[in-house]
A and B are shown apart, each in its own frame.
Chain A
Amino acid sequence: MDYLKQNEINQLQDIAYEIRRLTVEMVVCGQWGHIGGSFSLAEILSTLYFKELRIDSYQAKSEHRDYLILSKAHCSPALYAVLALKGFLRIEDLYNYCKIGGLDGHLDMLETPILEASGGSLGLGLSYSAGVAYGLRLKEKFAQRVYCIIGDGELSEGQIWEAAMFASHYRLDNLIAVVDYNKVMAKGFVHEEMSQEPLVERWKSFGWNVIEADGHDVADLHKAFYTAKYLEVRGKPNCIIAHTVKGKGIEECEFNYQWHTHAPSVKKGEEFLMELAKRYNKEYTGLRCLPKSKDDGSLAIVIGGE
């Protein structure tokens, strides 16, 4: 087993903080976005991009890369943020979130070519990832891996289980699904809306290796990824169930479905940034962008009414 060193742990935690900070800024800026699910992903994405994924910083789309597909594409702010921290997007681009010519609310690969997939309609990502994994195997690229991040609410989509069946039938052990099990869906708790339990047994019964991890502990996540990559039974796809907290990092948002999709005001955004800085012992840097004007769907702006 390869354990993270303390300085690596600190670095990954710092990046997770930056992901959260940038997420708040983007969502204030674009006046739209999903804070809750982006926050539960922060450590998962920082560990993946800064420790696990094999990506050439100078040639992001090299054909030797590992692939990361974000099936829960509404959490685009967290992904854009980590891509910017990695140097694949400019930080200024983030402040054009949800504006014409800027980054799309959900993922659009034609607009943002650094992405591996478009997304937004839930349940599609695992099939796509399995297709990539199958393709890599056909090309005899055995060292490359495909990571697919799925939300827990998304597991209600039947296509996820079609893909799970396919991946185990074809023994796609280069595929690693990460379930961001943050226990909250868009409009309520998972266990109240549509329970996914017994989740571990479900994946196992579909022929997958299953590893549980604390999704906010970068050392534990690394252990899980390492296990999936090198220690698990070969010939089976791998599922990491990352236990997370929706909205992790800001008390008001934690386990609170009302922050699934909601844009804070400037004042609220500043409060959030202050709370984040305090919790992670960082210097408060303030909000570095202005929100776009919000029209709430009123056509008066275009038509010119009272």
Chain B
Amino acid sequence: MDETQKTAETLPVEQPLPGADEIMLNMGPQHPSTHGVLRVKLKLDGERIEGSECVIGYLHRGVEKIAEHRSYQQFAPYVDRMDYVAAVSNGLGYCEAVEKLLGAEAPPRAKVVRTILTELQRIASHLLWLGTHALDIGALTPVFYCLREREEILKIFEKYCGARLTTHAFRIGGLQYETYDGFERDVKRFCDDFATKVDEYEQLLTGNRIWVGRTKGIGILTGEQAIALGVTGPPLRASGVKWDLRKAQPYAAYDQYQFDIPTGQNGDTYDRYLVRMEEMRQSRRICLQAIENIPTGPIMAKVGKVLKPPPGEVYHAIEAPKGEIGYYVISDGTVQPYRVRVRPPSFINLQAFDTMARGHLVADVVAIIGTLDIVLGEVDR
């Protein structure tokens, strides 16, 4: 049997058809709207979705297993490759978790620089989400605008640490690199340019009848459902739960800055869109406040070259662009972690897909996958 035949044979759903009117439809794993390799099995009554099942794992690389065979520092670059469009946030969570385990704390200057870079990363991640989400639904223009602005952020990352995507920007204990000359100027320039940009995107979409028609009332998740399903990040806030780890359990330097937590009421795709748009404005606000006053001083705490955290365990979570990313790290006193568990926001948010999709039409699947803002590298790890 050759390869093509075999794939065709294994792909269709094995169960017999449940009723005459119901059909099973397979979507993905190679489908442009699934943002990676996600396969969704849909149970349909006509065009209406009666149930669904996500098949994941195509990008599984065993990140947690790798962690047990690397030293604490060696594992840090691997976390960038989970949510590869928000690598800086992943790195921040991991570094802070290990710092907590060591009982160390990054110096104030490092904390502020971390905050700036993480907020820039949040804007970059939301921009990529907005561009692709709009593209999925049929609006072609926003993606060009979004990638244009995202490029400026990636340039700042590149100037800072040499990498654009998988940055490995932070180290356990602080930062490896001092900021370059003109770092503040670059961030300031970006923030000034960005001031009117979110309004520009909103002009394209917010009142657009097609956009409203495709997103309003689609994929509704109530606050109770969201909490019960463990959904975090913008989807939770769009359901009316005012909760953000940056405020609830502040880390890095977030307790020093003023910002608001946007929420929605309806928990639909449109509200999630509005929440993320407002989050970009708030991130810009944080960046502007932070560059005003970056403290001077060391950028690295004294943690030593060989890290041997005292035995024990720690769970540390931060607010990544996609939701709560948590690291549960266990030390047995050696140079390698005994266990590293990543609590992936995309994975847990994707679980809500079935609840959100039921009762909607096939065309809405694309909107619902887009609005969850998943990255398959993180879902599968």
Tell me whether A and B are bound partners.
no
**Which residue numbers of A lie inside 8 Å of B, CB to CB?**
none
- B residues sitting closer than 8 Å to A (CB atoms) are none
